[in-house]
Amino acid sequence: MNQPDLVIFDCDGVLVDSEIIAARVESDLLTAAGFEISAEEIAESYAGLTFKDILLKIEEKAAIPFQASLITQAEELVDRRLKNEVRAIDGVHEAVADVTAPKCICSNSTSERIEMMLDRTRILPLFKGRIFSALETPSRRPKPAPDVFLHAARTLGADPANTFVIEDSVHGIAGAVAAGMRVIGFTGGAHSYPGHADMLTDAGAETVIRRWADLGGVIAALSMWSENA
């Protein structure tokens, strides 16, 4: 059976249940700044984007100018909450450990935040030295740009066409598809919403899983399908 060159995991909302925590902080800040929005709406429409990009999209949509200081406030508040509250998503340790192909993380979060969350949730040893932050790539372009995925593939000597990406957001999937990679959608985070799986499929995911226990079988099946295509 064909073995993937590389399996790439998103971090927020995939390995750790952090998206809902960030969405709650961002919802409170945006509502206080004059744009009323719920955490659920942020998770559905803006998951996978940096807070800076969320602000830019909302400014364009609602013509409300935001203070740049909101970005710093959000980063500090989210970091504080994550240090106390972030949890691993059920089953992730076993699922990641069972992946025999080379693996790494590609995320829009900073490497410091990623390592803090993974250390707290005991996932860090599974990815030590293989963490790629989009904000620290040569271009510094976050997802939905494909740059972080392509940078990881180049660094680790992987063919993008034989690389699988596990993503929970439309924006992350858009970046992986643009990189020429195959995508498995994930809806096991607390921020998931009705229609989430359909949104991920429409964005380009070949299939969607909700439980980490399904990952190994799905990678094997998709690898076999690629061989027979």
Q: For every one of its 229 residues, what pLDDT tens digit does the chain have, with 9 covering 90 and above? A: 488 999 999 999 999 999 999 999 999 999 998 899 999 899 888 887 889 989 999 988 888 888 889 999 999 999 999 999 999 999 999 999 999 999 999 999 999 999 999 999 999 999 989 999 999 999 999 999 999 999 999 999 999 999 999 999 999 999 999 999 999 999 999 999 999 999 999 999 999 999 999 999 999 999 987 644 4
Any alpha helices (H) in 8-68, and if so which ranges? 19-32, 39-46, 51-62
Helices 19-32 & 39-46 angle (0-180, nearest 10) = 110
The CA distance from 132 to 139, in Å, is: 13
Side-chain half-sphere of 64: how many Cα atoms within 13 Å?
14
**Residue 208 corresponds to which tokens in the numbers above?**
């969607």
What pLDDT score does 173 carry? Answer: 97
What pLDDT score does 43 carry? Answer: 87
**Residue 100 corresponds to which tokens in the numbers above?**
């025999």
The CA distance from 110 to 98, in Å, is: 26
What pLDDT score does 228 carry? Answer: 46
Contact 92, 9 (CB under 8 A): no
Write down the residue that tokens 């909700």 correspond to. 210
Contact 113, 135 (CB under 8 A): no
E-strand stretches of the chain: 6-9, 103-107, 131-133, 163-167, 182-186, 207-209
Contact 152, 132 (CB under 8 A): yes
Contact 209, 191 (CB under 8 A): no
What pLDDT score does 169 carry? Answer: 94
**Residue 53 corresponds to which tokens in the numbers above?**
């990009």
The CA distance from 124 to 140, in Å, is: 23
What pLDDT score does 226 carry? Answer: 65
Contact 70, 53 (CB under 8 A): no
Q: What is the pTM of this model?
A: 0.91
Contact 200, 170 (CB under 8 A): yes
**Residue 113 corresponds to which tokens in the numbers above?**
């935040």
What pLDDT score does 63 carry? Answer: 82
Q: How would you classify the pairing of strands 182-186 and 163-167?
A: parallel
